[in-house]
Homo-oligomer: A and B are copies of this chain.
Amino acid sequence: MSHNSFGHLFRVTTWGESHGPALGCVVDGCPPGLPLTPQDIQAWLDRRRPGQGRFVSQRQEPDAVRIASGVFEDARTGGPVTTGAPISLIIDNVDQRPRDYAAISTAFRPGHADWTYFAKYGVRDYRGGGRSSARETAARVAAGAIARKVLGPGVSVRGALIQIGAHRIDRARWDWDQTAENPFWSPDSAMVDVWADHLEAIRKAGSSTGAVVEVEASGVPAGWGAPVYGKLDAELAGALMSINAAKGVEIGAGFAAAALTGEESSDEMRAGNAGPVFLTNNAGGILGGVSTGAPIVVRCAFKPTSSILNPRRTINEAGEDIEMRTTGRHDPCVGIRAVPVVEAMVACVLADAFLRHRGQTGGGAFAPGSGERA
């Protein structure tokens, strides 16, 4: 309900601006007894961190996370575990350069939230976009690390970049192991040089480029999600579209499903040991808003960042026509660092769906043949 929160039983609230003292989140409703250290979270934050290569923002932020509440030593192991109380995570901003932003204090950068925040609120923290900055996504990734703990090792959520600009990977060459071997999370090793060349050209041109991220969650049992407005795909779509620069979301076959016939689209089933085995997965692991047991597959399209060096026509707070170019430190392709963010959002939505399913039904899925919950 509130503006800066999402989730129902596993609920995440984030706060903080790009150039304020800190940012953070409060994760409420987490199950108790889960081992959780700052290092568990840091590992995921480090994947999203800026300043790690020439294709991402040069802002130097360690993104060191502190756990300010909600964990305590377990009597049995002595190690820290979640207590069921709200978990407050705080990440200090250390590389703010507010003076970079004086030029935009009274002007509206095209393609940014400058104008809309002004129109809505009449006041805005213009430094790096303030609340609208992609820096907020660090809090999402931190929350996602806790969500992964809730999901446990049986559920794997992993992402890849499948398109930069007009250059799409060849799905026939998909290799998940490759995503860890290149700075783009590309599952197609043949695409790495193509993208590197494209990004280099974009960067030199002072321009930017869009991208598409794909995330797969495997190990999700059948039964998560809830018709009809709490559909798992609806929750995923809302969560992903809330990420900065997102312009489209697909589940399974997505927009391509429009051109299919019913025979091509509907996934046939054969009996398996624990429920049906799907011969295809155009549904992306979700039917009627509820998980099928097959991998959940989502895609999210990101527009190119609007922070570009080339001059653009716009207006200012006084209502005058002006031209402006955006200096400062920016990612030429925000889609790259969005990979861990999309993963995190998927993990959070799934953790929430898991808890809600357990709440309403007791958990587990009915197995064909027995009519009993597995």
Contacts and interface: CB of A to CB of B under 8 A. Distances in A.
A373 interface: yes
A14 to B, nearest CB: 7
A248 to B, nearest CB: 4
A186 interface: no
Contacts of A260: 209-210, 303-304
A358 interface: yes
A125 to B, nearest CB: 4
Given A86-B15, A253-B303, A247 B284 contact: yes
B312 A266 contact: yes
Nearest to A222: B119
Interface stretch (A46-54, A173-181, A315-323): A315-323
A201 to B, nearest CB: 10
Contacts of A335: 258
26 contacts: A4-B85, A4-B230, A5-B5, A14-B86, A16-B68, A17-B72, A17-B85, A72-B124, A82-B123, A83-B117, A85-B131, A85-B227, A90-B90, A115-B276, A131-B228, A165-B259, A166-B259, A209-B262, A233-B242, A241-B249, A248-B250, A250-B301, A257-B301, A260-B304, A270-B313, A317-B369
Contact of A69 (B23, B86, B202, B255): B23
A146 interface: no
A209 to B, nearest CB: 6
Interface string A291-317: 111000000011111111010111111
A321 to B, nearest CB: 5
A321 B313 CA distance: 63
Contacts of A254: 247-248, 301
A336 interface: no
A59 interface: no
Given A227-B3, A359-B359, A303 B258 contact: yes
Contacts of A317: 75, 368-369, 371
A314 to B, nearest CB: 5
Interface residues of A, number: 175
Contacts of A90: 68, 90
B269 A108 contact: yes
A90 B28 CA distance: 17
Contact of A238 (B237, B269, B367): B237
A194 interface: no
Contacts of A212: 255, 258
Most buried by B among A88, A259, A369: A88
Nearest to A252: B247
A11 B359 CA distance: 13
A86 B3 contact: yes
Interface in A249-280: 249-255, 257-271, 275-276, 279
Interface string A74-89: 1110000111111110
Contact of A292 (B16, B116, B124): B116
A121 B361 contact: yes
Contacts of A2: 5, 7-9, 11, 13, 28-29, 230
A136 interface: yes
Contacts of A247: 233, 250-255, 257, 284
Given A263-B207, A302-B258, A362 B130 contact: no
